[in-house]
Amino acid sequence: MLVRAAYTIAFLCLVGAAGWGLHGVLTTQDDDGFLQWRDPAVTAAGRVLYASHCASCHGMPDGSVKPTVNTSAKAPPLHDASGHTWEHPDFALFQLVRDGVAVANCVPLDPELMPKFKGIVSDAELVAILSYIKSTWPRAVRQNHDRVNMMYGPYNRAVRKLIDTGSGEHG
């Protein structure tokens, strides 16, 4: 009995230790991307930029502007919960909108239909636009997007390092 009890305690301790280890990994690794959707100042700025640069084709998430309908199979998707924007990790959204192509995970966008925004909005403005889009999603969609981000942590971190935040660091 005593031996069995000792085993049980040892087992519980192991499980407990593993649990704490995992807890540490999950809470200390910042793999949920670089969009600043929790920051109201960023998302307010992003909303204004989105309204002037994106809404004419993609519509406003609140329905105040309807998306453009085109006859091709590649109509501009709504960025709301009904769309598939959340399926792209942060780095891919950033690169798709800026350059029309992402280093991984995504098919390039049709340059005839979706403009490349490099040089039209700054990197920081683009982060604000995408942060605004994420802020409009219901919690469950944001959480799904966080999970996608976690699978692409190294890409997110690499692209985040290249983003010109306008701080002058990159000249």
- Per CB under 6 A, residues contacting ligand HEC are 53-54, 56-58, 74, 76-77, 79, 83-85, 88, 93, 96-97, 109-110, 113-115, 117, 129
**Shortest gap between Cβ of 21 and ligand HEC (angstroms)?**
35
User: Looking at beta carbons only, is 60 or 129 nearer to ligand HEC?
Assistant: 129
CB of 106 to ligand HEC, least distance (A): 8
- φ/ψ of 31, rounded to 5, equals -100, 15
Q: How far is CA 143 from CA 10, 27, 86, 133, in A?
A: 35, 15, 9, 14
CB of 171 to ligand HEC, least distance (A): 24
Write the burial class of residue 96 (CB in 10 Å: 0-12 exposed, 13-18 middle, 19+ buried): buried
User: How far apart are CB 126 and ligand HEC at their closest, in Å?
Assistant: 7
For residue 131, the tally of other CB atoms under 10 A from its CB is 23
For residue 146, the tally of other CB atoms under 10 A from its CB is 16
C-beta of 19 vs 106, nearer to ligand HEC: 106
Nearer to ligand HEC, 3 or 69 (CB): 69
The whole-angstrom separation of Cα 126 and Cα 113 is 19
Closer to ligand HEC by Cβ: residue 29 or 56: 56
For residue 31, give both structure tokens.
């793999």
Closest to ligand HEC by CB, 32 vs 86, is 86
- Can you tell me which residue has the tokens 């490099």? 118
Least CB distance from residue 142 to ligand HEC, whole Å?
15
